[in-house]
């Protein structure tokens, strides 16, 4: 097959590309330039996609002996991932930019462009497994290394794009094994630190980034009785479940910590309260992406995960339909309470290690 290997400049994507070469595929490496101002992604950035990463990706391609290109996807990235990030926070929701990047960049813009150029599949360094059955159907599963599993952020890709994806690292036992393999192959990124945080927030100051782009909007912090207990510079900078950075002027009567319970963008208000009020027992989500064919109205048991590295909890779910009669959302009942679920988060449903579907949290029931 002709395979387009997404080279981020890290060790995972380099080893994944190497394995695709070993499998006999015709591999071409491509690095995605996602920033309009490359100086924003400076040395010391804790995210991915820095200017140094492009050089590391090129050197990895040279070692592997494969062609290498840089594709400028910065405009698409700005219009989809960054714009969505700002709009969601402004609406009082909590987005996951890695989910949006996988949806709109790696498995939409990159894959679609690759297919148009005659490539059969895109290969990435994500930790997830694809199980192929005799009838040709594919399933997305958790990686063998559960500590590195990335099926949560990949669930948004859906079955059609899964059919053109390759995840060569899904079966590896640990990240240490990947680093050791990279060293044996002579890849200079074998000891490169992992990227973390939001790539377009280079200094890790998400609140500062939001203030810079959305402006200062002073408002009140209220307790559950409606008493003013503090002030803020923008309700958009808070998320459900947040404890730090509240700067409350009045302590709780019982002296216990308080958490963000609700963000109300219309009134620019943040509501805080005790931890037990964060527990939700139900979730309604929309924009569903299914890897199975659920029967609307029929309930099924599943495991529910609402954070990239959060622990799944048992529950049951049923698909909801849109005006055209197609599954469009999901209603979830949790067998155990789950804390700090915020509108805008991605919720992924599992059957064991298999991904059943993904949706975006719209509302919760406490």
Q: How far apart are CA 249 and CA 245, in angstroms?
A: 12
101 catalytic per annotation: yes
pLDDT at 60 over 60: yes
Query: What is the band of 169 on the pLDDT scale with cuts at 50, 70, 90?
Result: very high
Average pLDDT of the segment spanning 154-176: 95
Instruction: Considering the candidates 48, 49, 98, 101, report the single residue annotated as catalytic.
Output: 101
Question: Phi and psi (nearest 5°) for 231?
Answer: -130, 160
Give the pLDDT confidence score for residue 41 in this predicted structure: 47
Token pair of 24, please?
A: 């006999």
Task: Please identify which residue in the block is written with the tokens 């005659």.
Answer: 118
Average pLDDT of the segment spanning 309-328: 88
123 catalytic per annotation: no
Contact call for residues 33 and 71 (beta carbons, < 8 A): yes
> Nearest CA to 187 among 28, 26, 46, 12?
12
pLDDT at 45 over 60: no
pLDDT at 154 over 90: yes
Contact call for residues 258 and 273 (beta carbons, < 8 A): yes
CATH architecture of the domain 279-365 equals Beta Barrel (2.40)
Average pLDDT of the segment spanning 144-152: 95
Q: How far apart are CA 299 and CA 64, in angstroms?
A: 49
CATH architecture of the domain 216-273 equals Roll (2.30)
Q: How far apart are CA 109 and CA 22, in angstroms?
A: 26
Instruction: Considering the candidates 48, 49, 199, 302, report the single residue annotated as catalytic.
Output: 199
- The CATH 3.40.50.620 domain(s) of the chain lie at 2-184
Q: How far apart are CA 207 and CA 312, in angstroms?
A: 28
Average pLDDT of the segment spanning 92-99: 88
Give the pLDDT confidence score for residue 21 in this predicted structure: 97
Range with the poorest average pLDDT among 100-104, 278-282, 350-354:
100-104
Q: pTM of the full predicted structure?
A: 0.90
Share of the chain above pLDDT 70, in %: 95
CATH 3.30.70.420 fits 2-184, yes or no: no
- The CATH 2.30.30.280 domain(s) of the chain lie at 216-273
Query: In 3-state terms, what secondary structure has residue 358?
Result: strand
- The CATH 2.40.30.10 domain(s) of the chain lie at 279-365
Mean pLDDT, the chain, integer: 90
Query: In 3-state terms, what secondary structure has residue 40?
Result: helix
């Amino acid at each position: 097959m002709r395979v387009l290997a997404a080279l981020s400049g890290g060790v995972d994507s380099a080893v994944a590309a190497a394995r695709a070469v070993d499998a006999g595929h015709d591999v071409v490496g491509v690095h995605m330039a996602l920033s309009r101002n490359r100086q924003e992604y400076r040395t010391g950035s804790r995210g991915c996609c820095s200017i140094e990463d492009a050089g590391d990706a090129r050197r990895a391609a040279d070692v592997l002996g494969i062609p290498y290109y840089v594709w400028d996807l910065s405009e698409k990235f700005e219009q989809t991932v960054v714009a969505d990030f700002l709009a969601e926070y402004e609406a009082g929701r909590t987005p996951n930019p890695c989910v949006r990047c996988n949806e709109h960049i790696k498995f939409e813009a990159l894959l679609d462009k690759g297919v148009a150029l005659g490539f059969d599949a895109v290969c990435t360094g994500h930790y997830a497994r694809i199980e192929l059955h005799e009838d040709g159907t594919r399933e997305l599963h958790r990686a063998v290394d559960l500590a590195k599993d990335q099926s949560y952020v990949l669930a948004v890709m859906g079955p059609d794009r899964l059919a053109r994806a390759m995840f060569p690292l899904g079966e590896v036992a640990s990240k240490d094994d990947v680093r050791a393999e990279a060293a044996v192959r002579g890849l200079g990124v074998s000891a490169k630190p992992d990227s973390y945080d939001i790539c377009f927030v280079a200094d890790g100051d998400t609140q500062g980034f939001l203030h810079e782009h959305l402006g200062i909007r002073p408002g009140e912090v209220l307790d559950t009785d409606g008493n003013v207990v503090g002030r803020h510079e923008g309700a958009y900078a808070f998320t459900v479940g947040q404890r730090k950075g509240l700067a409350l002027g009045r302590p709780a009567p019982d002296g216990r910590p308080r958490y963000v319970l609700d963000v109300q963008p219309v009134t620019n208000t943040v509501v805080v309260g005790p931890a037990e009020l964060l527990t939700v027992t139900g979730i309604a989500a929309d924009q569903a992406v299914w890897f199975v064919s659920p029967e609307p109205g029929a309930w099924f048991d599943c495991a529910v995960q609402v954070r990239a590295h959060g622990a799944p909890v048992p529950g049951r779910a049923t698909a909801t339909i849109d005006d055209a009669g197609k599954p469009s959302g999901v209603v979830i009942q949790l067998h155990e309470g789950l804390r700090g679920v915020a509108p805008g988060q991605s919720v992924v449903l599992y059957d064991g290690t298999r991904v059943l579907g993904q949706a975006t949290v719209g509302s919760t029931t406490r």
